[in-house]
Amino acid sequence: MIGALPGAGRGRLDQVTTARPSPAELDARTPADRDRVVDAVRAASILVVVLGHWTMAAPERVEGSLRLRNVLEVATWAQPLTWLFQVMPLFFLAAGFANHRSLAPRADGTRRPVAAYLAGRVDRVLRPTLIFLAVWLVGAWVAVALGAPERALDAAGTAAAMPLWFLAIYLLLALLAPAQLAVHRRWPLLLPTVLPAGVLLLDQAQGTGWAALAFLNYALVFGLCQELGFWYADGRLQRLPRLAWVAGAAAAVALLLVATQLGDYPVSMIGLPGQKVSNMMPPSICVVLVALLQLSLLMLLRPALARWLQRPGPWAATVGVNLRIMTVFLWHLSGFAAAAGILLALDAPLPAIASGAWWAWKLVWIALSALVTVAFVLALGRAEQGAGQVAAPPAPLAVLGTAVAFVGLVMVACAGFVAPFEAGGIELVGMRFVPAVGAALVVVGYALTRAGRTTAAPSPTR
């Protein structure tokens, strides 16, 4: 049974009764006004993140112990590739598009209640995430009790929790979207003008006593990406000539070269040891430039991509990926950790990082990680079935629940999963967090958005 594919059009994909509908059936049931390019962007951006994480992870043995490094530390020639493959800006552009469509007036002039919209977004994110949290928290606690190597487990748990960062930002943007959309409709040029200036200003706080302020850039940088999604949903971006996008891509590359070669910003859009300034923890003005570059390239490719997605095969693949994309995103680093455990138990070699032998073995690591992740998706992916189709709670509960879930996800993302009842993990604004407390807040947030429900809410495709 396949339900609605969230977010990319005014209509929804009707449910079909066959377990495996043919590509032609899916194509025929897709509303004519659905923007298939946005669906493809959402699916492709997550798959690129997954493949990137698997590729960059570089375990090595040092004096008999195992540590995890990033191949970009050694293969510095590959760092500029992150300008193309750090695709979180495109993911949040697609999220902005979906939020705009969910909150926009319907054909009959009515609007979806904000409470129903928030409840749907929280359900979409947290239904598979709650299973993920339960499995990891209980599993890590049991593994430590049984004598598993705590250092290796801590590294695996820290890595596995990483996707929660961006799910937290997704909920934050959903929470901000109604107010942001109101500003967008009244002053469409305001936020694209003000937000980059604010990002650049907050960048100056990095490495100072005001460093905590720089973390506001998560809202500003990805809020700007959401704003670009609003512009796409309005049709404004599509009306710009191709020459504008050629100029946009060229300007973005030129400014990135200035910022990274003449300024203090690192080349890599992935955080690496030894960097004085971060481009992603928190995001910097360079991520804004990367967003401009990636958007420009997307708009240049959009006509050809739209034609390609009219074919039943590519469209069916896009639908299939999106139906389980949250589960893939949540479990892909767990899949890598499990694959690493298998390969290391089999005494697989660990050649010098970025050597020819290392790249050859990396194909084996990626293939096994993919197999394990597919197993996770097959076992747990049904949690996404029907996600987002919930009734509306009272508006204050929906807002509070979304905010509480956001805080909980941030806490677990920082703390990791080992020692569930002890504060640990990475420090954020001078604090360390207890994983179990963060998970409890996620549960409370989810419950709040499902409490005191009033009216039935449509799928977030509306």
pLDDT at 266: 96
pLDDT at 387: 64
Cα dihedral sign, 132-46-339-433: negative
Q: What is the pLDDT of residues 267-296, one digit of tens each?
A: 999 989 888 888 998 999 999 999 999 999
The answer, yes or no, to whether residue 5 has pLDDT greater than 60, is no
pLDDT at 19: 54
Instruction: Tell me the pLDDT band of 30, cut-offs 50, 70 and 90.
Output: confident
In three-state form (DSSP H/G/I as H, E/B as E, the rest C), the secondary structure along 144-178 is: HHCCCCHHHHHHHHHHHHCHHHHHHHHHHHHHHHH
pLDDT at 62: 79
Q: pLDDT > 70: what percent of the chain?
A: 91
pLDDT at 20: 66
96 and 227 Cβ atoms separated by less than 8 Å = yes
pLDDT at 248: 97
The answer, yes or no, to whether residue 107 has pLDDT greater than 80, is no
d(CA 27, CA 423): 50
Q: Where are the domains of the chain?
A: 32-448
The answer, yes or no, to whether residue 6 has pLDDT greater than 50, is no
In three-state form (DSSP H/G/I as H, E/B as E, the rest C), the secondary structure along the chain is: CECCCCCCCCCCCCCECCCCCCHHHHHHHCCCCCCHHHHHHHHHHHHHHHHHHHHHEEEEEECCEEEEEEHHHCCHHHHHHHHHHCCHHHHHHHHHHHHHHHHCCCCCCCCCCHHHHHHHHHHHHHHHHHHHHHHHHHHHHHHHHCCCCHHHHHHHHHHHHCHHHHHHHHHHHHHHHHHHHHHHHHCCCHHHHHHHHHHHHHHCCCCCCCHHHHHHHHHHHHHHHHHHHHHHHHCCHHHCCHHHHHHHHHHHHHHHHHHHHHCCCCCCCCCCCCCCCCCECCECHHHHHHHHHHHHHHHHHHHHHHHHHCCHHHHHHHHHHHHCHHHHHHHHHHHHHHHHHHHHHCCCCCCCCCCHHHHHHHHHHHHHHHHHHHHHHHHHHHHHCCCCCCCCCCHHHHHHHHHHHHHHHHHHHHHCCCCCCCCEEEEECCEEECHHHHHHHHHHHHHHCCCCCCCCCCCCCC
pLDDT at 305: 97
State the average pLDDT for the chain: 89
The answer, yes or no, to whether residue 461 has pLDDT greater than 50, is no
d(CA 261, CA 62): 32
Of 51, 20, 25, 34, which Cα lies nearest the Cα of 333? Answer: 51
pLDDT at 426: 83
Least confident of 201-210, 263-272, 415-424: 415-424
Which backbone phi and psi does 87 adopt, to 5 degrees? Answer: -100, 15
The answer, yes or no, to whether residue 106 has pLDDT greater than 80, is no
pLDDT at 123: 93
**Cis upstream peptide for 273 (omega within 30°):** no
Bridge-based pairing state of the strands 65-70 and 431-433: unpaired
The type of residue at 426 is I
Q: What is the pLDDT of residues 111-153, one digit of tens each?
A: 889 999 999 999 999 999 999 999 999 988 888 778 777 777 8
d(CA 144, CA 400): 35
The answer, yes or no, to whether residue 458 has pLDDT greater than 60, is no
Instruction: Tell me the pLDDT band of 389, cut-offs 50, 70 and 90.
Output: low
Least confident of 159-168, 177-186, 269-278: 269-278
Instruction: Tell me the pLDDT band of 3, cut-offs 50, 70 and 90.
Output: very low
Gyration radius from the chain CA atoms: 22
Instruction: Tell me the pLDDT band of 164, cut-offs 50, 70 and 90.
Output: very high
d(CA 91, CA 328): 15
Instruction: Tell me the pLDDT band of 427, cut-offs 50, 70 and 90.
Output: confident
Mean pLDDT confidence for 296-319: 95
Instruction: Tell me the pLDDT band of 456, cut-offs 50, 70 and 90.
Output: very low
d(CA 197, CA 300): 26
What residues have CB less than 8 Å from 306, skipping those under 6 apart? Answer: 36, 37
Query: What angle do helix axes 285-309 and 36-56 make, rounded to 10 degrees?
Result: 120
pLDDT at 140: 85
pLDDT at 8: 53
Mean pLDDT confidence for 184-188: 95
pLDDT at 55: 96
What residues have CB less than 8 Å from 423, skipping those under 6 apart? Answer: 415, 432, 433, 434
pLDDT at 152: 75
Instruction: Tell me the pLDDT band of 14, cut-offs 50, 70 and 90.
Output: very low
Instruction: Tell me the pLDDT band of 364, cut-offs 50, 70 and 90.
Output: very high
pLDDT at 27: 67
d(CA 334, CA 132): 10
Mean pLDDT confidence for 201-212: 90
The answer, yes or no, to whether residue 332 has pLDDT greater than 70, is yes
Top-confidence residue, 274 or 80: 80
